[in-house]
Chain A
Amino acid sequence: MKLDLGISSSSSLQAAVKFSKLADRDSLNCIWIREDPRAQPEIFTVASIILLETSTLKVGTEVTSPLDRNISTIARAAATLSQMGRERLRLGLDAAGPNTLMRDTATLLRRLWTGETVTFTSDRFRLRNYYARYKPSFATPIYFGARNPKLLALAGEIADGVILSGPKRYIEKAVAVVDQGLKKRKRRRGSFRFVAWVPTAIIDKKSDLRLAREAVATVLAVTPEAVLKMAGIAQGRVMPIKAMMVEKGVNGASRIIAEDLLQEVAIFGSPEEVALDLKSLEKYGIDEAIFGAPYGREPAKAIGEMARAWKSLR
């Protein structure tokens, strides 16, 4: 099992580069950049800069939507980054659309990357004799950021990996759903990667628990009903949190997070405890665990501590 780092595209570029260098230095496996559509930075530009500043770290975009960019733009951005990073790029796609959209997206990208001249028409895509003039013939792994069960199964069927985020019980069940898709493949599992992204925080003192509570409130407020259902969390327990978010913001909402929800949604504690908890996701079939926001009171320090704790597990 490998340790990844997660950042948001809304992080300052300075912080993103600093964290990437730390992750590269500490031999973490991958940095995932979560695209925040409200944030200024453009995810492929940020990923380019990170690839240029690191040497061995894989860099993943998590996740970009085929609805936000022309398919040709996604294809060539991935091609450029793959060249720049000597194939260290992982392309995360926001699997939030219908199954046909995601299936078409993955298929078209792979056809374009082999240098094929593509003519294809659907509700969403209209390509006519389009081909890449840049040097194609490479294979960027495609990861689906999926939550809906149908798309989770599709990820197993056609993607190279899946990024799961949500409560721990949800992650356990989601792996099983992805496995159903994997069974449809001729070669089962193979190099397919299961990646889990759970809010994580290094807690030095009791007051740091606030970080974990705030993260849980933020996550639960936007967690889809289907995910809550799979996690066995009653919608009624989340409604007050959502209401409090609107009324008093994250600070207010974090104060009403029950202990069991905190334990279910976040991983927190000393570096050693967090490392062990992340490692425990392996029993569900997770291949890579992401150490992501809020990290700890001092994020750079927390990343270093986490990397050391992870190494000591081996």
Chain B
Amino acid sequence: MADKILLAHGSGGKLAHDLVEKSFVKTLTNPFLDKLDDSAVFDLSGRLAFTTDSYVVSPVFFPGGDIGKLAVCGTVNDLAMSGAKPLYLSLAFIIEEGLALAELEKIVSSVQKTANEAGVKIITGDTKVVPRGSADRLFINTAGVGVIPEGVDISGDRAQPGDKVILSGAIGDHGIAVISQREGLSFSTKLKSDCAPLGGLVAEMIAASPNINCLRDPTRGGLATTLNELAKQSKVSIRIEEKTIPVREEVMGACEMLGFDPLYVANEGKLVAIVPPQDADKILKAMKKNKYAKEAVIIGEVAAKPAGRVVMKTVLGAHRIVDMLVGDLLPRIC
């Protein structure tokens, strides 16, 4: 086989078939994918969650992961944020002509490893190749489906005054890890992306108590944007305390260096949970047992006013508004 992806690899002919069989199906193998029908056919019943995402992160390889791992985690996490057990994913590649086959295979291997950990199967896919310059090495699109257990009703509009706000761990790792690889920014760091599949964590939280009102993962726009979305959807105020929010020293350092606020930096392996006060402690306890939420902490609570706003108590004890992200500070980090 050629060592670079050519336009012909996307044309549906022999070269394309070889690529799919040898580089994709062989690694991602499962009974659905192996059939290589135009669509995957399966039985599924219950309340379903369905999501779609596209991944255009640059660079495609970054400390702690790559676009393949990111694609699986992102999709799995979107499903988990509805309380669903993620089951099946679709995977579509848009490849820039000239991408090295070895790199593509490394990414597919990453997809497989992550899918295994998350307990999901890639059951259908698509491959297109576009001319040089039309895509930045590789874009990935996914869709995912999962089943929501009985008694679970999680949605952005269910936060109630009095609820506690739990954050699963330190913020800012992913955004800083990715930007540290960008050209023109001359710094090096040992920081890794926090990219992780959270389906297992959510299942453990639900087992501790199904009374979770909201779940969301703070990706682009960071914790601040996510909390604002929830506050607006639920028409409540979210009040947080600055000193409770965990931020790694390296992230603080990079943010100081670059003038960023960690509240707005992307995360790919964290979640925010809004839960009734009487369930908060047992959910927190369950979270801390999971390897992806050892630093979970209650960062605040929900109040009635000012509705739609996020208010933070600063280290001085004063209060200030935390707004949504304005503008586009870190392009293409997801």
Q: Do A and B bind each other?
A: no
Q: Which residues of B contact A (CB under 8 A)?
A: none
